[in-house]
Amino acid sequence: MLVDRRNLSDHLAWIAVFALGTVAAVVWYVVYASTDGLERWPGGSSAPGLVFGIVGGAIMVFEFLLWPKKKLRRYRLGKAQIWMRAHIWLGLLTVPLISLHAGIDWGAPLTSVLMILFWIVIISGVVGLILQNVLPRLLLAEVREETVFSQIDHVAAQLVGEAEGAVLVSCGDWETRREPRSVNGGTKVVGAPRTVLPREIPLVVLSRKGERERLRQQFYEEIRPYLDRGRKSGGRLRHASWAESYFAGLRESLEQGAHPLVESLEESCDTRRQLDRQARVHGWLHGWLSIHLPLSAALMVLMVVHIWFALKYR
pLDDT given for residue 8 in this prediction: 76
pLDDT given for residue 92 in this prediction: 93
User: In this structure, are 202 and 215 located in the same domain?
Assistant: yes
User: In this structure, are 299 and 233 located in the same domain?
Assistant: no
Say how far apart CA 77 and CA 274 lie, in whole Å.
37
- Asked if the structure places residue 168 within a domain, the reply is yes
- Asked if the structure places residue 41 within a domain, the reply is yes
Say how far apart CA 297 and CA 98 lie, in whole Å.
17
Q: Which of 282, 166, 256 is nearest to 219 (CA)?
A: 166
pLDDT tens-digit series, residues 7-32: 778 888 999 999 999 999 999 988 88
User: In this structure, are 41 and 86 located in the same domain?
Assistant: yes
Say how far apart CA 54 and CA 98 lie, in whole Å.
9
Sequence-distant (≥ 6) Cβ neighbours of residue 48 within 8 angstroms: 25, 28, 29, 32, 42, 100
Evaluate if residue 219 carries a pLDDT over 60.
yes
- Asked if the structure places residue 2 within a domain, the reply is no
pLDDT tens-digit series, residues 177-199: 443 333 333 333 333 333 333 44
pLDDT tens-digit series, residues 117-164: 999 999 999 988 888 777 766 666 555 555 556 677 788 888 888 888
Say how far apart CA 128 and CA 288 lie, in whole Å.
6
- Asked if the structure places residue 222 within a domain, the reply is yes
User: In this structure, are 267 and 298 located in the same domain?
Assistant: no
User: In this structure, are 195 and 265 located in the same domain?
Assistant: yes
Q: Across-strand partners of 181? A: 189
Give the range of the structural domain holding residue 223, as residue numbers without chain letter.
149-286
The amino acid occupying position 263 is: E
* pLDDT-wise least confident of 62-76, 223-237, 285-299: 62-76
283-314: burial string, b at 16+ Cβ within 10 Å, e else: eebeebeebbeebbeebbebbeebeeeeeeee
Instruction: Identify the residue with better confidence: 302 or 111.
Output: 302
Instruction: Identify the residue with better confidence: 7 or 65.
Output: 65
User: In this structure, are 302 and 282 located in the same domain?
Assistant: no
Tally of domains in the chain: 2
User: In this structure, are 166 and 63 located in the same domain?
Assistant: no
pTM over 0.75: no
Distances (CA, A) of 135 to 38, 128, 189, 240: 49, 10, 32, 21
